[in-house]
Amino acid sequence: MNKIKSLQYLEECLLKIRQMSSDEICLQEERTGANIVLSSESIDKYDFDVLFSSTYSSYDMNFIGGQYSKDTKDNDDKPMPNSILNTIYYAA
Amino acid sequence: MLLCVDGYHVNSISKTDIFINSDSLIESYDTDWLGNGMYFWDNMSNARYWANEKKRKDGVNCLRLVKGIIILDSILDLTDNDIVTMVDEIWATYVKKRSLCPNKPSGSKLNWIFSFFDGFSDKYKVIKAHGSYKNAKLAHFFVEKTCYLDSRIKTIYCVRCKSKVVEREVVEVINYE
């Protein structure tokens, strides 16, 4: 899928949710399980692991990387996916 | 032309065995980064950086670096600001309509979007983003004040569909003992 098609699809999603009422969004969340996805976010990661271990045969709860603040560097992952960085290709 | 990229992943011997010998993924149920999926680095040195981090944090003695070719024909490219702005607008519309707090980790937001919209998982099977690792060492080559290049930015791919990683192979065993 190229960028234009991707943007078109995302626009469709945006239009769809804009046209939905709050009640319709709730119904859609219940139907798709999206409400559970968000509520599980507050569960401790290790509980989450146990919660899903019966459903999935393989899983990996390790972080893929971490950004550490100086005062909490061994305790806390501070992820920072970043959109203000630009990749540059230079063809010589 | 099919767009592909080499992807590198570090994990335990047992987990990478499954990745190599079957068509399954080593899936992380993540909420902080790009959500659920198997995570790959786009080059070997970033994968080795992560192996060293695992050693430092978890004290593991042995890891294995594996590789696969990631097929990019259904990518949600969050390195593209037009795309990420649109995704953010979808999220903002949702939280406004439901009167929810908008501040959630990126992985949670993505997991929600993938669940909520029928067909989203069919459209997007790989997510690409840049991670900013400011505590990683800046390459000496870039330390000049006038230099705007940065070696601490790492490209991450999150693969959500097992068919999008092919030609899997072991690169090396990393033994810290």
**pLDDT tens for each residue of B115-150:** 999 999 999 999 999 999 888 889 999 999 899 999
pLDDT at residue B170 in the model: 97
B-chain CB neighbours of A79 within 8 Å are 32-33, 105-106, 131
B-chain CB neighbours of A39 within 8 Å are none
Q: How much of chain A, in percent, has pLDDT values that exceed 70?
A: 42
Task: Answer whether B27's CB lies under 8 Å from B19's CB.
Answer: no
CATH topology of domain B4-175: Phosphoenolpyruvate Carboxykinase; domain 3 (3.90.228)
**Structure-token pair, residue B45:** 């040195």
Give me chain A's average pLDDT, please. Answer: 65
SS3 A30: helix
When pLDDT is cut at 50, 70 and 90, the band that residue B87 belongs to is very high
**pLDDT tens for each residue of A37-51:** 887 654 444 333 333
pLDDT at residue A50 in the model: 35
- Three-point CA angle B26, B32, B35, nearest 5°: 45
CB neighbour list of residue A44: distance below 8 Å, 6 or more residues apart: none
- Tell me the count of A-B CB pairs closer than 8 A: 162
What is the average per-residue pLDDT within B28-45?
A: 94
- Domain boundaries defined on chain B: 4-175
| Residue A44 contacts B where some CB pair is shorter than 8 Å | no
Helix residue ranges, H only, chain B: 13-21, 44-58, 81-97, 106-116, 120-123
Single pTM value for the model: 0.81
When pLDDT is cut at 50, 70 and 90, the band that residue B89 belongs to is very high
